[in-house]
Amino acid sequence: MAATRPEAPVNAIRRALVAAPVAHADETGRRVNGNLYRLHVLSTDRFTACCPHPKRGAEAPDAFGLLAPFAGVLVHDHGSACQRYSCWQAFCKAHHLRELTAIAERSPSQPWATDMIALLCQANALVGEAQNLKALPTGNVERLRTRYDTILTEAEAGNPPRPRRPGTRGRIKQSPAGNLIRRLREHRNEVLRFLTDLRVPGDNNPAERDLRTPKLQQKVSDCFRSDTGGDAFAILRSCLSTRRKQSDDIFNSLVLTFQGQPPMPQLVPAVQVGNRHNSKYFFFNQLFIMNFRS
């Protein structure tokens, strides 16, 4: 019953997200009536919108209806479904660091992976020191870009594309290192967006944090018995997550909703405070670099 009442707050949240300068997108799986569904989220530091959908591909964000009109910077995990939209794109650096760490640990013959980790950590440190500036000095950005390109050139020399075997058709399966090198090369602007726009965090942690409660609900309750229950959870989760981000009383918000007076979110100008870098994550990567080189 409560999920049928907060139509006005949900619409206000959606409008605020579309107008935000920076937003985060992510998705996760969940079970609905025995079928695998996806729960998609678009969020900032003040607003959260959840949308359930049976699929994770292009149909889902289209049905979400928020990414097509969104004109800010969209931070995501380099998913192809999000890359279809005309807004500015930024890729999650933490995902790349995890892939680079795996390559460096498993293949000592891939020194470029360790070099790229060091570069991204250094770039993250420079951004952290420049939080009171509107942009990094142009010289710093160009030096980092040049080093980035040099590392990838060395990586490509040691990881040439696999040739097509006689009699085979379709896409040629490349190694994990080869796929990562191509992505880093083709999407350099998206990977390094946090250098040229200091509003943009280096990771997609805000969206991932918004999906923790739905994953916890799945572990406790296993699944939803109907589409109606899954949709109701997404509506209430959007409202309650937004109220929590705005430091409002969650219990009182639920009481007002059941009374037919769902509270409206605070529609202040969206200020993307965000987490420019995950200090703990980068600290452990720095330790990895020192241990790997010793």
Q: Going by C-beta distance under 8 Å and a sequence separation of 6 or more, which residues neighbour residue 90?
A: 73, 74, 75, 76, 190, 193, 194, 197, 200
Q: Where do runs of H (alpha helix) occur along 70-110?
A: 80-83, 93-106
Nearest Cα neighbor of 238 from 72, 54, 3, 1 is 3
* pLDDT value of position 278: 47
The fold of the 2-89+206-258 domain, in CATH, is: Nucleotidyltransferase; domain 5 (3.30.420)
pLDDT in tens, 54-90: 887 788 888 888 999 999 999 999 988 899 999 999 9
* pLDDT value of position 268: 66
pLDDT at 157 over 60: yes
| Higher pLDDT pick, 275 / 36 | 36
Number of C-beta neighbours around residue 8 at 10 A: 12
pLDDT in tens, 203-256: 999 999 999 888 787 777 777 777 778 788 888 889 989 999 998 888 888 888
Give the domain ranges of the chain. Answer: 2-89+206-258, 93-195+277-293
Average pLDDT estimate for 44-53: 92
Q: How far apart are CA 88 and CA 222, in angstroms?
A: 36
